[in-house]
Amino acid sequence: MKATLFLLMAIFTAVPGFSQSHDQAEIDKKVRAFLNKHSGEWYDMNVPAKDGKLLHDLILENNYQRALEIGTSTGHSSIWMAWALSKTGGKLITIELDEKRHKEALKNFKEAGVSDFIDARLADAHVLVPKLEGPFDFVFSDADKTWYRNYFLAVDPKLLVNGCYTTHNVSDRPGYGSNSDYLEFLRSLPNYKTSVNSEGNGMSISYKTADR
């Protein structure tokens, strides 16, 4: 009996991916349960689930591992991204200025079981983003819209080629809230290929094709 237990423990720790896939199943279960329980409860300017899933899928499909989010709020989008990063072996840095939302996000990360994949910073992104070391391969910009271009310019040198820079509330349809000037700016960049996903609240998706 003792020998069998020992053997099982040896297999569990020695076979690559064995313990990880077991943990992943647990994480998947916990995140799904959390998202189901709280769907319809995201009132702090959070992304709709459609946009959360879009972020998750972009990270997973491209195997991104070094992600940055500007604008955590209470953590809905962070949880979708961290879930994907739990599968790619990556981590997310997310920044929030408002202490109450930051604290609520930390609580949500714990309940969703994704705290290990998130480095949540309480800071002014205007100050912190230019100081971050990088490199990053995935960025989600979702804080103050008037600063979108500045955030992009600060992160661009730290974004790896083939990396992806996404921005929320960007639409092809001109008008209030579409951030059309910013979209025009993204589309003018010769080393980025930008498209817009309009299934949720509008998301620009810019792939970096070359350093300059």
| Bridging pattern class, strands 203-208 and 159-168 | antiparallel
The reply to whether 103 sits near ligand SAM by the rule CB under 6 A is no
The reply to whether 67 sits near ligand SAM by the rule CB under 6 A is no
The reply to whether 96 sits near ligand SAM by the rule CB under 6 A is yes
Cβ atoms < 10 Å from Cβ of 202? 20
C-alpha angle 184/147/157, rounded to 5°? 75
DSSP 116: G
Site for ligand SAM in 2-41 (CB under 6 A): none
The reply to whether 202 sits near ligand SAM by the rule CB under 6 A is no
Cα(98)–Cα(72) distance, integer angstroms: 9
The reply to whether 47 sits near ligand SAM by the rule CB under 6 A is yes
The residue from 64, 77, 86, 207 that contacts ligand SAM (CB under 6 A) is 77
Structure tokens given for 40: 């319809």
Nearer to ligand SAM (CB atom), residue 45 or residue 132: 45
Q: Which residues bind ligand SAM (CB under 6 A)?
A: 45-47, 71-77, 95-98, 101, 124-126, 142-144
